[in-house]
Structure 1
């Protein structure tokens, strides 16, 4: 039995190692390519370690367009969407989790149905509506379509439902108002779920290419993913080293945020899974 358990542990470690390689290799290849010269990117089979790191590739990518402007736009739009989503999903999740009212099940079902609708199916009416409001090429026009999140409502609802009823009843006996219970009791106890959703939302909109492409026609509100795509226009189709340097600039802020939030993400999934 001990031999079998040891063998299973070895197999488990090997499988985890294979999975790590599968997910890590594309990122390693991106970092490697970003530090190569252009001829080195064409070598086959590829060499993973560049002969001499070409740090100027990052400056070349940064100077290929108004990258600081793109960066600030990405920060403003991603943070604006996240802030607006928090304002809308927290009360909605609290209502669905803690109040029984007529039609609540139907309404929650309708919220869940929106998860199955691809954004590509609704972009045209949204585009026409924003155009009629003169919000094209504006930060607000890129923020408003994502003012709420069905996934966020679902995740927070599940987290709010884990809070013991006794705590809420005790707060109500102390004559605490519902908004105070939500802010001072529910939100602190659902902090891991909130951080997890915040990270997913920020990453999703930080990397979003489709909506900024549809909703912008000039540089006013364009974001980093569009700036990365523009490198191919300014630097040429075959400058993969510069293109990968630009992609690395796009990815690094997300990696930093994930590094600081990973414990909360693990805690959120473990806590909800145990419950």
Structure 2
């Protein structure tokens, strides 16, 4: 009875009737949007769920039909067996060491170059930036042979230091930080210069705090890329003790005899490989998802 009365009142008032129709349209639109987001989330997370589930199964359960997500008797020993059969502790340490070193060096070099491109005045600055961005368009595989020859000439092949040195500069990082630095209010930089601050102090005391989300985003992307890198490290590193986790996983998958035989152990090794990245993202997601909302100038 109340609903009929409200509908009559809404129809008698065109403005109120329009609001009711609009609210229904907004509700349906949001419902569709949330459904699509939920569907996309399930599609994205399902491989991780299946990987973890398979890591806790027996071989017969992995190939059972219909497939089961929850194993009947979780095989936690699969994770221990992986560490016994392969040097996954060494592989993970190598990957974490290389990725952390590359992140630290690339943040420093990218920040310094981005600062020069945004805060310093010199001739052909736009040309230099164009050349830098032009190199970003080159496929990464085109640099493998020149880097291999250079590292060979300075005796850094098959060394983690050689891998780190050849990834000191990131074109993506220069571009990302340059765009972030352009959003910093120039009056803050000018005020710091008047007070006698050096370029280094301006960069790390003024600009860095205001663009911290961009630094964290760049660091996270670089860490994931370096940690997961396979092709280039496989070319540079030949000694098994120096393999990164991707090369170690491949060796365990094929050369270790796990291919087609030990799928639960392969899935356990994959879970171990992915786990540090998931933990890192959970820690840094607040800053990763955040933008540069504050230029540092208060009204």
TM-score, normalisation: structure 2: 0.87
Residues 49-105 of structure 1, C-alpha deviation per residue, up to 9 Å, x if partnerless?
A: 111111111111112222221121111111111111122111101111122321111
Q: Which moved more, 1:5-14 or 1:162-171?
A: 162-171
- Residue 102 in 1 paired to residue 123 in 2? yes
2:289 to 263, 266, 269: 266
Residues 171-230 of structure 1, C-alpha deviation per residue, up to 9 Å, x if partnerless?
A: 111111222111111111111110110000001111111112111111242111111112
Between the two proteins, the alignment pairs up a number of residues equal to 272
2:213 to 188, 192, 217: 192
| Aligned equivalents of 1:114, 1:15: Cα separation in 2 | 38
- Corresponding residue number in structure 2 for 1:251: 274
Please tell me whether the aligned partners of residues 211 and 292 of structure 2 are also in contact (alpha carbons under 8 angstroms): no
Q: SS at the partner of 1:92? A: helix
Q: SS at the partner of 1:63? A: helix
- Residue 176 in 1 paired to residue 197 in 2? yes
RMSD between aligned residues: 1.5
Q: SS at the partner of 2:196? A: coil
Q: SS at the partner of 1:264? A: helix
- Corresponding residue number in structure 1 for 2:54: 33
Deviation at 1:270, TM superposition (A): 6.7
Deviation at 1:271, TM superposition (A): 7.1
- Corresponding residue number in structure 2 for 1:153: 174
| Aligned equivalents of 2:292, 2:221: Cα separation in 1 | 13
Q: SS at the partner of 1:162? A: coil
| Aligned equivalents of 1:65, 1:102: Cα separation in 2 | 55
Max Rg structure: 2
1:88 to 101, 104, 109: 109
Residues 102-124 of structure 1, C-alpha deviation per residue, up to 9 Å, x if partnerless?
A: 11111111111222222212211
Residues 115-171 of structure 1, C-alpha deviation per residue, up to 9 Å, x if partnerless?
A: 222221221121121112111111111111211111111111111111111111111
| Aligned equivalents of 1:248, 1:56: Cα separation in 2 | 14
| 1:221–1:269 CA distance, 2 compared to 1 (3 A) | farther
| 1:49–1:105 CA distance, 2 compared to 1 (3 A) | same
Deviation at 1:269, TM superposition (A): 6.8
- Corresponding residue number in structure 2 for 1:19: 40
- Corresponding residue number in structure 2 for 1:236: 258
| Aligned equivalents of 2:293, 2:74: Cα separation in 1 | 41
- Corresponding residue number in structure 1 for 2:70: 49
Q: Structure 2: which 5+ residue stretches go unaligned?
A: 1-21
Residues 17-68 of structure 1, C-alpha deviation per residue, up to 9 Å, x if partnerless?
A: 1110111111111111111101111124422111111111111111222222
Q: SS at the partner of 1:265? A: helix
TM-score, normalisation: structure 1: 0.95
